């Protein structure tokens, strides 16, 4: 850039030694002679001041150290789209022994050319491009009108993240020439968006995936531009300080995935404004600071009408600390997959396996938790463990094995809305299952147990001493070696003299004998 810079540079995006900034001022800054550019850095730590010099305000910054004055020759204003494409994708010719001459007829005259085959090769290379990445290539706009459409008309997916685009209009100038465009990534471009007029019809007629992370877009601007995205399926809006200010009407109706991660100003009431997007299947809400959710239209054991198509919900890195949050998620009628890592509820000193079991038990239709599939056996074990863990609390609240007397109070039902359904599914917990476990003392560590084989009359009753901390899986392993029977074929249960005629299954391989309240003198029943 030279000293003839005009006010046209104001608002332009620039790059200086790898750092990006926006031009806020162009002119003289006394007492030093010559032209200066005042820039506001994306990284405010890069700057020195707020746009003021010796008491005079030349421009304003959002951060007190976000500004600098720079000579124009130190600034990179970038290149147009087609130049960037050629820089990255046009292959250099192979080493030339000699330039070959060709005769080409132009009009009626034969013309000798040198390297004409190289031009054809370059055009061929560009026209075949479908998936393009121009991340961090200093792209500042479309360039010559029609040039993109002529050179590379078949582009379907393009990454334009971290470039020097400054406005949505510049994006439209590029997209207008890419009629097959389906995927567009504009992340980390500080763009100005229209707030009044919608995008021209047809510009994004094929666009299915749009990534606008860290672009500074507002929710109002999203809704304004969205009328130009008629078939959009995936929209990424991470880290834009978005506040959901109004409900989408007649826009975003085709969106299946919405990413609102790291927008810390979003709360549960704002989420209700997007709760009726008809096709929304995946909602990503990582790191938004949410701690509570309540669907007011659904009571205990009922399903909400909100988020009717939502199948996958991501809640990582939030402030969820109460089990009531998980109870509410059970009200979502289509929810099958959940990710909720790095929350107070799931972190700390708590047993991770128990936490997983309780989440599974509280959300009945869940099939995947934290990207791990929930097999039927795991669900059964989780629900049985949950049923037992809160059995005494259920009894104190008015729960009873007799269905006619089973009336737990409202407080218990609110804290454990699925408990009654689990009692119907597996039967109410018996008194024997709810015995208080003895404290962990040295004398209590070993259990003397009889072992019977009801289906094997030739097997004699034996007696073994086993640690009460021994898991069902390890007991099966021991018996498998003794009996020469595969572990997978063994079924264990036990009887207690205190509960004559009652047989309790040891159905969860991961739990200990102590968990099932097995005591000295009890009898293990082994079947295969």
**Full-model pTM:** 0.76
The strand ranges marked E within 260-300 are 282-284
Contact 266, 295 (CB under 8 A): no
Contact 368, 336 (CB under 8 A): yes
Per-residue pLDDT of the chain (528 residues; tens, 9 = 90+): 444 455 588 989 999 988 999 999 999 998 888 899 999 999 888 888 999 988 899 999 989 989 999 999 999 999 999 999 999 987 654 444 444 455 544 444 554 544 445 545 555 678 899 999 999 999 999 999 999 999 999 999 999 999 999 999 999 999 999 999 999 999 999 999 987 766 567 899 999 999 999 999 999 999 999 999 999 999 999 999 999 999 999 999 999 999 999 999 999 999 999 999 999 999 999 999 999 999 999 999 899 999 999 999 999 999 999 999 999 999 999 999 999 999 999 986 567 888 999 999 999 999 999 999 999 989 999 999 999 999 999 999 999 988 889 999 999 999 999 999 999 999 998 877 776 554 444 444 788 999 999 988 888 889 998 988 888 988 998 888 888 889 889 999 999 888 888 899 998 888 888 888 888 889 999 998
DSSP 504-516: EE---TTSBTTTT
Distance CA 473, CA 479 (A): 10
Question: Who's near 394: CB < 8 A, 6+ residues apart?
Answer: 408, 412, 416, 419, 429
Tokens of 245: 């200010």
The residue with tokens 């069902």 is: 472
Provide the β-strand partners of residue 192: 167
Contact 6, 26 (CB under 8 A): yes
């Amino acid at each position: 850039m030279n000293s003839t810079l005009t006010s046209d540079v104001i608002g332009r995006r620039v790059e200086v030694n790898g750092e990006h900034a926006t031009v806020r001022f162009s002119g003289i800054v006394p007492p030093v002679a010559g032209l200066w550019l005042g820039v506001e850095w994306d990284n405010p730590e890069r700057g020195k001041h707020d746009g003021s010099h010796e008491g005079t305000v030349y421009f304003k910054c959002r951060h007190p150290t976000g500004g600098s004055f720079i000579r124009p020759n130190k600034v990179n204003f970038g290149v147009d789209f087609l130049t960037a494409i050629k820089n990255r994708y046009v292959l250099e010719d192979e080493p030339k022994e000699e330039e070959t001459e060709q005769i080409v007829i132009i009009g009626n005259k034969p013309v000798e050319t040198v390297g004409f085959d190289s031009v054809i090769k370059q055009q061929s290379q560009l026209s075949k491009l479908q998936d393009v990445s121009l991340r961090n290539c200093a792209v500042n706009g479309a360039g010559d009108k029609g040039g993109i459409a002529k050179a590379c008309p078949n582009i379907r997916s393009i990454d334009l993240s971290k470039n020097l685009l400054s406005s949505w209009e510049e994006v439209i100038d590029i997209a207008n020439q890419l009629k097959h465009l389906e995927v567009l990534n504009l992340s980390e471009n500080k763009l100005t968006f229209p707030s009044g007029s919608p995008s021209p019809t047809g510009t994004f007629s094929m666009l299915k995936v749009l990534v606008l992370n860290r672009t500074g877009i507002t929710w109002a601007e999203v809704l304004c531009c969205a009328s130009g995205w008629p078939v959009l399926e995936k929209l990424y809006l991470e880290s834009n300080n978005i506040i959901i200010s109004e409900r989408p009407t007649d826009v975003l109706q085709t969106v299946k995935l919405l990413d609102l991660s790291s927008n810390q100003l979003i709360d549960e009431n704002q989420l209700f404004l997007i709760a009726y997007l008809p096709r929304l299947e995946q909602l990503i809400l990582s790191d938004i600071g949410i701690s509570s959710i309540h669907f007011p239209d659904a009571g205990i054991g009922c399903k909400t009408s909100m988020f009717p198509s939502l199948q996958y919900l991501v809640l990582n890195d939030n402030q969820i600390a109460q089990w009531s949050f998980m109870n509410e998620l059970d009200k979502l009628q289509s929810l099958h997959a959940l990710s909720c890592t790095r929350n107070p509820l799931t972190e700390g000193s708590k047993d991770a396996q128990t936490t997983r079991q309780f989440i599974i038990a509280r959300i009945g239709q869940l099939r995947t938790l934290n990207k791990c599939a929930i097999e039927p056996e795991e669900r059964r074990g989780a629900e049985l463990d949950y049923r037992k863990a809160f059995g005494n609390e259920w009894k104190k609240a008015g729960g009873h094995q007799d269905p006619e007397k089973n009336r737990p109070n409202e407080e218990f039902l609110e804290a454990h809305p699925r408990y009654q359904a689990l009692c119907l599914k597996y039967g109410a917990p018996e008194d024997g299952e709810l015995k208080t476990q003895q404290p962990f003392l040295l004398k209590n560590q070993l259990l003397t147990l009889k072992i019977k084989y009801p289906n094997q009359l030739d097997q004699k009753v034996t007696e073994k001493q086993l640690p009460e901390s021994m898991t069902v899986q390890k007991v099966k392993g021991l018996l498998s070696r003794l009996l020469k029977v595969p572990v997978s074929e063994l079924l264990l249960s036990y009887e207690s003299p205190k509960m004559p005629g009652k047989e309790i299954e040891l159905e969860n391989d991961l739990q200990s004998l102590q968990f099932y309240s097995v005591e000295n003198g009890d009898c293990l029943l082994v079947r295969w």
